[in-house]
Amino acid sequence: MDDRIIAFIAGLRAAGVRVSLAETEDAMKATAHMGVTDRNAFKTALKTTLIKERADEPIYETLFPLYFGSGGPPLLQPQDSLTPDQMEMLRAALRALAGDLGELLRKLSQGLAPSREELERIARQMGLDRPRRGQNQQWLTREMLRRLGMQDLLDQIERLLQQLAQMGMSAEGLQKMREILDANREALEGQVKQFVGQTLARQLSAQPPQKMDGQDLMHRPFNSLTESEARELRKQVSRLAARLRAKASLRQKHGKGPTLDAKRTIRANVRFGGVPFDIRHKRRHLKPKLAIICDVSTSMRQVVDFLLRLVYEMQDQIAKARSFAFIDHVEEISDEFTAGRPDVAVPKVLHQIPPGYYNTDLGSSLDQFTHDYFDSVDNRTTIIVVGDGRNNYNDPRLDRFEEIKRRARRLLWMNPEPVFEWGTGDSDMLQYAPLCDSVHQVSNLAELTAAVEHLFEGR
C-alpha cells in the first residue's frame, strides 16, 4: 500500500498539486494509523495531509479512485437470486446456445468478470502500455469494452432471455435474470473504466508535469484539463467572444453587395414581357437564429460549458437563441440564459442536470424534440448539435434528424471526437454526419472558437 500511496502522490504532483516531502511523510503516518479497512477514513486522512488549497480538491477527487478503486459494487451472483431449478435452466440455456453466445455473456451470467490478465493483454494490443500524453480515457474504455464483446452483449442478453422463456422460466425469474445481467454489465463497465484510469494514472505519475500558459491551454483537449486549467480558460472566453463580435460586426458593415434573386425578379417583371426593369435582390439575414441541442452526459460537459459561454457572450450578434440539453431526454434551458449571465447560467444548468455514463439516448431525445420543441425551428434557424454521437446502442432516429434538417436553414454538428473514432463502439456519427451541412471537431477551445466563427461567417 505504501507504493500505491507514493504513486498517488506522484500523480498529484504531475497534475500540478504541490506536495512536500514533509506532507508525504504525514500522509504515510496518518494512513498507517487509520488503516485501509475504512475506505472513507483512509480517503479523508490522505486528503487532510496532502491537500492545502480548495482549488486542488477536484484533482484529488478525480485521481483517488484511479489509484485506490472506486468502491463500486461487485458482480452479482445469480445463485443468490435464482432458485436451484432456475439455475439449472440457466445452465441448460447456455449449453443450448453454445454457438451463439459470446464468452463475455457466459461470464457475466455466472457472476464472473474478465481476469486482470485478460484486461492487461487487451491493453497491450491497444498500445495502452506505451505511455502517451493526452490519451482519452473514455475512448480507451469504450475500445476495451468493444474488444471484450460489449457491442453484441445487449442482443445476446435478449437471445438468452428468449431461450429461458421458451424453456419455461417464469416472468419473475426472467426479470431477476435481466436485472442480474444489467447490473453485471454496468459493474464491468465500471471495472474496465477503473482499470484504464489506473493505467493512465501510473503513466501520469512517471511523466514530468507540463506547465502551460493561456495560449497553450487553448490547444489542450477539454478532456485532459484539470479544474484549475479549466478555470483559467473560462477567463479567456469573454476576450474570445469580444474578438469574434468585432469580426462579425465588420462583416456586417462591409459585407458584399446585394445578391440578385432571379426567381423574384422574373415574377416581378412578367408585366414588362420579361424585361428586367424591376430588379429584386435576395433578403439577407445577417444575424443567425440558433437552436442549440447539447449532450450534457459526463463526456460532453466541458465542451458544452465552453460552447454555451461563448455563444451567449455574443448575444448582440444573434437574432434569437434557444438552447436544449439532453442525456436520455431533452429539456429546454433557454430561460436560465435569459435570467442571468453565461458565467452564472452555465454552472447552474449543469448542476440541475446530473451527469451520467452509459445512458445517453440521442434518438429518443430527437423524437421528443420534434414533438415538444419543433416550434423553435423554421427556415431561418441554424441548428447546432453538440455531442459525440454516442447513443448507447439505441435507435439513432435518423428519420427525426432528417425531419429537423428539412425544416432548418442549416444543421451543424460539433463533436470533440476525432474522425477515426466515429463508428467505433456505440458511435452513430457516421450515420449522422452525411445529413449535416458541416461537422466540426471541437476537442479544445481553439477548435471550438473556430467553429463558432464559422457559424457567423455562414449567415
How confident is the model over 263-276, as pLDDT tens digits?
A: 676 676 666 665 55
- Nearest in space to 109 (alpha carbons), one of 117, 122, 120, 98: 98
- pLDDT of 349 above 60: yes
Q: Are 348 and 316 in contact (CB under 8 A)?
A: no
pLDDT at 125: 84
More confident of the two residues 249 and 244 = 244
CATH of 225-252+285-457, one of 3.30.565.10, 1.10.3470.10, 3.40.50.2300, 3.40.50.410: 3.40.50.410
| Separation between Cα atoms, residue 177 and residue 194, nearest integer Å | 26
pLDDT, one tens digit per residue, over 162-220 is 999 999 999 999 999 999 999 888 888 888 888 887 777 766 655 555 544 445 678 88
% residues pLDDT > 90 (the chain): 22
- The one-letter amino acid at 375: D
More confident of the two residues 46 and 209 = 46
pLDDT, one tens digit per residue, over 367-417 is 999 999 999 999 999 999 999 999 888 999 999 999 999 999 999 999 998
Q: 80-87: long-range contacts (C-beta < 8 A, 24 or more apart)?
A: 81/176, 81/179, 81/180, 82/173, 82/176, 82/177, 83/173, 86/169, 86/173, 86/176, 86/177
pLDDT at 213: 47
- Nearest in space to 176 (alpha carbons), one of 159, 162, 163, 161: 161
What are residue 292's DSSP bridge partners?
Answer: 323, 384
**Any idea where the domains of the chain sit in the sequence?**
2-68, 78-206, 225-252+285-457
CB proximity list for 377: less than 8 A, separation 6 or greater: 291, 383, 404, 407, 408
Q: Give, in order, the Cα–Cα distances in Å from 252 to each of 226, 280, 284.
A: 38, 20, 10
pLDDT at 64: 81
pLDDT, one tens digit per residue, over 24-33 is 888 888 888 7
Phi-psi region of 397 (alpha: psi -120 to 50; beta: other; left: phi over 0): left
Q: How confident is the model at residue 226 (pLDDT cuts 50, 70, 90)?
A: confident
Mean pLDDT of 311-335: 87
pLDDT at 258: 60
| One-character DSSP codes across 264-290 | HHHHHTGGGTT--SS--BPPP--S-EE
Q: How confident is the model at residue 356 (pLDDT cuts 50, 70, 90)?
A: low
Query: What b/e sequence results for 242-270 when a residue is b if at least 16 CB atoms lie within 10 Å of its CB, and e otherwise?
Result: eebbeebeeeeeeeeeeeeeeeebeeebe
| Separation between Cα atoms, residue 362 and residue 435, nearest integer Å | 15
Measured in residues, the chain has a length of 459
> Checking DSSP bridges between strand 320-326 and strand 330-332, what pairing results, if any?
antiparallel
pTM of the full structure: 0.55
Q: Are 6 and 31 in contact (CB under 8 A)?
A: no
pLDDT, one tens digit per residue, over 148-167 is 888 888 888 999 999 999 99
- pLDDT of 326 above 80: yes
pLDDT at 53: 82
